[in-house]
Chain A
Amino acid sequence: MNITEILFWLLTAVALGGALLVVTSKNPVYSVLALIATFFALSGHYILLNAQFLAVVNLIVYAGAIMVLFLFVIMLMNLNTETEPQKNKWLKLAGTIAGGCFLLVLVAALRDADSKSTMALVGSGDTGLIQNLGKALFNEYVIPFEISSVLFLSAMVGAVVLGKK
């Protein structure tokens, strides 16, 4: 095993363990913290694939901004284990079945995909570096990129309108 493999298994363990904790922990604040740990592990995977920009943006946007807002809401509502409403057990069963079906569809769809035969390039490849990403975004995909910025603008205007009410 070299350093890359050791890191891969370590990060995988942290990601899976964190994701499990998000679902199983009773305290919502613990769930948020576990989700942050999962994001960290995923960013580590991105770095192993030499996608440094993606890794850091994942941390800044998801772990740094969105999860802080999650934490804000949870702390202000002061959700505790006692106040959390207990769900109907039929509802839980339905959720489990729906999740299982989704897993089945995902596995079936990915089973025959041709990405299975190509190995992931570890520590090489430069598509994830910021120069190439920027060139691709502003040359080939410039129109979808600009349209998505309009989407953000409309979300901002919506937030301001709601806040003024």
Chain B
Amino acid sequence: MIQLAIDLAFVLEKAILIGGIISVSLLVAMYSTWAERKVAGFMQDRLGPNRAGPFGLFQPLADGLKLFMKEEIIPNASNKFLFILGPGLAMMTAMMTSAVIPWGKQIEIFGRTVDLQIADINIGILYIFAVLSMGVYGIMIGGWASNNKFSLLAALRGASQMISYELAMGLSIIALLMLTGSLSLKTIVELQSASGGWWNIVYQPLGFLIFIVCAFAECNRTPFDLPEAENELNFGYHQEYSSMKLGFYLFAEYINMFMSSVLMATLYFGGYDIPFVNDASLIESMGMNMVAVLQGLSLFLKAAFFIFVFMWVRWTIPRFRYDQLMHLGWKVMIPLALINMLITAIVVLIKENGWPF
């Protein structure tokens, strides 16, 4: 007889946390689609969706229902297993990033102190890069399995674009790591929210600029949405997809957008730190749980702003040509990131050892 020794309370705690975070992310992604259409409507002087419910708030539900009800077509010449695996992989890698993001400090429930973070691993940022590089597979497998020339071309475009911009993104993060001296996202947030500490955007404005441009490219959003350039490649890598499998690909893009917005807020804008307020004294006056709610709200507001920036850019800037995209990635972004890294390294060294001359 094998004895199972599992700390049930711990497993339950993490399961509830994971379930909560995933459903919140899905909800945010769902209403991002609504917000995107509203923002697009505003920018183009229209009303946007306003029929389903007040202000069109039930529009995402109607869209979801439509996608579920549509006929599901799997092309005859496609590789059936990989065709189904593709959107699943895209969705899974989009969700996996949320595991290392600190959503708030701590809450107390039933005498247990629960960290509002699924896993505080000391290599948090590297984990995010590993997951990002997995995101390529969803696109590549889906594009190849469709057995369509346009899909394959779009998938290859998407994959090479993501690989190219990952480099500059990694280099811009290295400069940030030199400042904080830690790879754990929790430590990075705590350093920023400590009294007397500034948000990292103050020290790393150029790094943030590089990071946000690369985040646009990683999410395949305009101006870098070449994988789904509909006027050259019909509909891009998901051309053969229909029904909810198409919905998964489109939805994964919105989840990626939310995750990168949260990441930008965490790395450069203080994460769950409430601006202009000393969190430690707030905990004494309001209690731990109330402050955790406020911190979560603060993080969500910051993320919502970045999601708005994503949409703002989408409806104002036209698409790059492919050679321009590669030129920007390899000849502008990477040298800029290297210069940023060099300057940061010199400043950090001088701060530690004093001016040598």
A68 with B6: in contact, given A29-B144, A53-B126, A130-B122 (CB under 8 Å)? no
Chain B, residue nearest A69 (CB): B163
Tell me, in angstroms, the Cα distance from A59 to B250 when the chains sit together: 26
Interface residues of B in 140-163 (CB under 8 A from A): 140-141, 144, 152, 155-156, 159, 163
Interface size of A by CB at 8 A reads 23
Residues of B within 8 A of A (CB-CB), count: 28
Q: A14-42, CB under 8 A of B: which get 1 and which 0?
A: 00000000000001010001001000000
Mask: chain B, 28-70; 1 = CB below 8 Å from A; 0 = not: 0000000000000000000000000000000000000000000
- In this assembly, does B113 line the interface, its C-beta being within 8 Å of a C-beta of chain A? no
**Complex contacts, B159 vs chain A, CB 8 Å:** 68, 72
Q: Is the beta-carbon distance between B123 and A56 smaller than 8 angstroms?
A: yes
The answer to whether the Cβ of A49 comes within 8 Å of any Cβ in the partner chain is: no
Docked Cα-Cα span, A104 to B107, in Å, equals 56
The answer to whether residues A130 and B183 also contact, given A65-B163, A72-B159 and a CB cut-off of 8 A, is yes
Interface of A is mostly: helix
> With an 8 A cutoff between CB atoms, is A100 at the interface?
no
Q: Which residues in window 37-53 of A have CB below 8 A to B?
A: 52-53
* Cβ-defined contact, A72 with B183, below 8 A: no
Chain A residues, Cβ within 8 Å of B134: 59, 63-64
A33 CA to B163 CA, complexed, in Å: 18
Using a CB–CB distance below 8 Å, which chain A residues touch chain B? 1-3, 27, 29, 33, 36, 52-53, 56-57, 59-60, 63-65, 68, 71-72, 75-76, 129-130
What are 8 sample pairs from A and B whose C-beta atoms fall under 8 A apart? A29-B79, A33-B141, A52-B122, A56-B123, A60-B129, A60-B133, A65-B163, A76-B156
